[in-house]
């Protein structure tokens, strides 16, 4: 087997294992603390530090990866996630809001160190000049990750119902510890490490296309989390009367399907690529299409239709279009990046991603508590429209001009 392909598969496997724990811990916290009597806004606040420290981590993590190597930052992230999972196994009396926020902060740092490291590693392992290979590898990594995050939602909800909150956390921490040890032995050292030590100020991109893409990413992911993080699971549980396992299974299937579409994006967009390259024009078309969906779901919920079927059909359509948008963005950040600065550019880009998730998470709790699920959806539509307008500043990628070719 080709050495780069082998290392890519190891990185992907480690990312998969981490992602299962990330999806599971999110579902565990949302459902368990709702069961303890927390309001939707209070549940959202538990994720405040998770998202905030994700912003900080992406800013610092890319710079750190360029200095010490991406494999090391990935394993640091895994270790921190094990600690975060263990922290939540304490008795209920200890689970105050500040304590849980601190544990979630650690989990947020871990998640973004792991994500930045895995995705930046793809650029290094795919090499320069082959845009088709790069798009395929990043789409498979990102799509499979989202499918596994969906599995994590189900695992978290099912474990909560079967063995309880603390038992679930212990199982997840043990699994990730084993993966950390195995991948540490299999991966070479120094992946993504720059020959010269970069200055911290270099993490801020001076390339306009990366800055505009980061701004669009902020609103794209804020639009999803504005209704998906708190509003949707609480609505399914408290309004539609679904059980924990049903909520977890439904959200898991949605995220798995979303990941499958994302991994298939290179094939789905092949015609667009043959027509002049993938880039800003592709991002604009799909983002404007996405803006119609949360607005349409909100309008449908206002009618006398069955809300369960409205959400099921609406989520399927939203997931397909959102997955293609996300795949295009994930490719563009690597395609726009200089080969030797990829970890810092990816870190900067995912800082914006984490900022959007933070805004969407807080908004999800506040909007649901004040305006219900329909209010969350209208905020989501506004965020998507903003992302579409920002995409007008994104150029297309061509083999002759792309910095991704290693120039």
166-193 pLDDT per residue, tens: 899 999 999 999 989 988 887 766 554 5
Read off the pLDDT band of 403 (50, 70, 90): very low
Cα(169)–Cα(89) distance, rounded to whole angstroms?
7
Q: What is the pLDDT of residue 283?
A: 86
Q: How far is CA 216 from CA 334, 348, 392, in A?
A: 15, 13, 10
| End-to-end alpha carbon distance in the chain | 28
- From 20-24, 318-322, 338-342, 384-388, the region with the lowest mean pLDDT: 338-342
Give the whole-number percent of the chain exceeding pLDDT 90. Answer: 18
* Residue showing tokens 């997840």: 172
Angle separating helix axes 231-238 and 3-35, nearest 10 degrees: 50
Task: List the CATH number of the domain containing 139.
Answer: 1.20.1250.20
Residue 193 falls within a domain, yes or no? no
Q: What is the pLDDT of residue 401?
A: 39
Residue 94 falls within a domain, yes or no? yes
Do residues 349 and 208 touch, judged by C-beta distance below 8 A? Answer: no
The boundaries of the domain holding residue 265 are: 3-188+203-398
- From 38-52, 94-108, 238-252, the region with the lowest mean pLDDT: 38-52
pLDDT, the chain, mean:
79
> What's the total number of domains in the chain?
1
Q: What is the pLDDT of residue 327?
A: 83
Do residues 15 and 118 touch, judged by C-beta distance below 8 A? Answer: yes
Q: What is the DSSP letter of 192?
A: T
Please, where are the H alpha helices in 69-130? Answer: 70-87, 97-126
Residue 391 falls within a domain, yes or no? yes
Residue 405 falls within a domain, yes or no? no
Structure tokens at 344: 């810092």
CA dihedral 116, 252, 360, 355 (to 10 degrees): 0
Global pTM? 0.67
Residue 195 falls within a domain, yes or no? no
Do residues 336 and 346 touch, judged by C-beta distance below 8 A? Answer: no
Q: What is the pLDDT of residue 338?
A: 64
Residue 286 falls within a domain, yes or no? yes
The strand pairing partners of 396, in sequence order, are 279
Max avg pLDDT among 196-200, 268-272, 314-318, 328-332: 314-318
**pLDDT exceeds cutoff 60 at 62:** yes
Query: In angstroms, what is the C-alpha Rg of the chain?
Result: 20
């Amino acid at each position: 087997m080709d050495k780069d392909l082998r290392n890519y598969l190891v990185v992907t496997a480690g990312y998969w294992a981490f992602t299962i724990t990330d999806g599971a811990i999110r579902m565990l916290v949302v459902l368990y603390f709702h069961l303890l009597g927390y309001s939707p806004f209070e549940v959202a606040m538990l994720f405040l530090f998770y998202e905030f420290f994700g912003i900080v981590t992406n800013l610092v993590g890319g710079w750190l990866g360029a200095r010490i190597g991406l494999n090391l930052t990935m394993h640091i992230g895994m270790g921190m996630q094990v600690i975060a999972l263990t922290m939540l196994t304490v008795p209920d009396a200890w689970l105050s809001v500040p304590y849980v926020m601190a544990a979630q902060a650690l989990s947020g740092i871990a998640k973004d160190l792991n994500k930045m490291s895995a995705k930046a590693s793809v650029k290094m392992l795919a090499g320069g000049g082959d845009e088709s290979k790069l798009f395929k590898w990043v789409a498979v990594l990102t799509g499979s990750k989202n499918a596994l995050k969906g599995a994590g939602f189900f695992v978290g909800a099912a474990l909560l119902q079967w063995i309880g909150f603390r038992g679930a956390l212990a199982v997840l921490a043990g699994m990730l510890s084993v993966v950390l040890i195995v991948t540490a032995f299999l991966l070479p050292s120094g992946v993504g490490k720059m020959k010269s030590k970069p200055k911290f100020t270099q993490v801020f991109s001076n390339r306009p296309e990366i800055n505009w893409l980061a701004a669009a990413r902020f609103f794209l992911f804020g639009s999803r989390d504005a209704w998906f993080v708190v509003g949707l699971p609480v609505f399914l549980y408290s309004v539609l009367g679904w059980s924990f396992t049903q909520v977890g299974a439904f959200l898991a299937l949605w995220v798995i399907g979303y990941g499958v579409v994302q991994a298939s994006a290179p094939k789905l967009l092949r015609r667009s690529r043959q027509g002049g390259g993938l880039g800003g024009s592709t991002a604009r078309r799909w983002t404007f299409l996405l803006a119609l969906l949360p607005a349409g779901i909100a309008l449908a919920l206002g009618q006398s239709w069955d809300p369960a079927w409205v959400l099921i059909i609406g989520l399927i359509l939203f997931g397909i279009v959102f997955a293609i948008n996300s795949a295009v963005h994930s490719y563009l950040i690597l395609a726009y990046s200089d080969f030797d600065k990829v970890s810092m550019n990816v870190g900067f880009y995912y800082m914006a991603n984490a900022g959007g998730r933070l805004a969407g998470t807080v908004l999800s709790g506040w909007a649901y508590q004040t305006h219900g699920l329909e209010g969350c959806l209208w905020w989501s539509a506004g965020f998507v429209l903003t992302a579409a307008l920002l995409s007008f500043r994104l150029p297309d990628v061509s083999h002759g001009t792309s910095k991704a070719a290693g120039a």
